[in-house]
Amino acid sequence: MTSSKSGARAKAAKTPTKASAEAPAKTPGAAKASKTAKVTKSTKPAKAAKAAKVPEAVKVPKGESHLALVRRARRINRELAEVYPYAHPELDFRNPFELLVATVLSAQTTDLRVNQTTPALFAAYPTPEDMAAAVPEEMEELIRPAGFFRAKTKSLLGLSAALRDDFGGEVPGRLEDLVKLPGVGRKTANVVLGNAFGVPGITVDTHFGRLVRRWKWTDEEDPVKVEAVVADIFPKSEWTMLSHRVIFHGRRICHSRKPACGACPIAPLCPSYGEGETDPEKARKLLKYEMGGYPGQRLSPPPDFPGKPAPALGAA
């Protein structure tokens, strides 16, 4: 940094976010970030975004050591924890079976559409035994809004029959058992383990993979390899909540085609800053769900969720 120690202390006193204060001395542009917004339980997300200031792009040194990468990644996680203290699985469920089914249905569609579809599905087939005995054509009609309804019906019938025949009608709590079920891969298994059984897991969906590559945590494309790299960076106790925070950020701010860089609370720590809209006013218009003042994805969100519940299927 070019300023004196007293000048740096004076500047830090005016900077409300840890992200700017903690940025490495060798990281260009981080020292120029004056204010970034944080969301706490007492701060509305949409208002917090209005305070975001635009920093210069943060460049990650080509020769960044593993230790430096770990420190930088963990700072990002701490910032996300303050931005999304209410981060949670965005699928509605009341038990492990419902979460398993909802996660299978979520492939190639939004959690919102799944949440709008599952009430009627679970009313018709509340248990694995009920679902295994379903008439395929009738189930297809119930899950049609979630897309790929024929393939998903086949998976649901298969996994329900396996639960009935091999696991006594109960969802197993082990990764090696879950991935044997039809339509269940590592991502789905980690979602179920982390959120229904409290077993730490990293959920590498499209949002998670996109963001960790933007943050230069890894350049791997294969989800299994991404999971292994990230698992090496963070303690196991952080895996499940880290997944929620990163996915929340990807859905709300760091979008695939046009990230809202100018409204991003962790912009001073992002090596890919500038890929999206940097103008704060224009960036705020890109915010989604509760960050933009809109309903979330769950029809039955947790009590601490600061946004609005999603509407039921067919609601105005």
Which residue in the block uniquely carries the two structure tokens 């018709």?
124
Helix (H, G, I), strand (E, B) or coil at 221: coil
**Phi and psi, residue 308, nearest 5°:** -95, 150
- The two tokens of residue 262 are 């100018």
Q: How far apart are CA 167 and CA 158, in angstroms?
A: 13
150 phi and psi, to 5 degrees? Answer: -70, -50
Check if the beta carbon of residue 145 is closer than 8 Å to that of residue 313: yes
- Is residue 308 helix, strand or coil? strand
Q: Which among 164, 166, 137, 167 is positioned nearest to 153, based on CA atoms?
A: 137
* Residue spans of alpha helices (H) in 84-148: 96-105, 111-124, 128-132, 136-143
Helices 239-252/66-83 angle, 10° precision: 70
C-alpha–C-alpha distance, residues 84 and 115, integer Å = 21
Catalytic residues: 187, 205
Q: In whole angstroms, give the CA distance from residue 205 to residue 247.
A: 8
Q: What CA–CA distances, in Å, run from 164 to 153, 168, 220? A: 16, 5, 38
CA 247 to CA 184: how far, in whole Å?
20
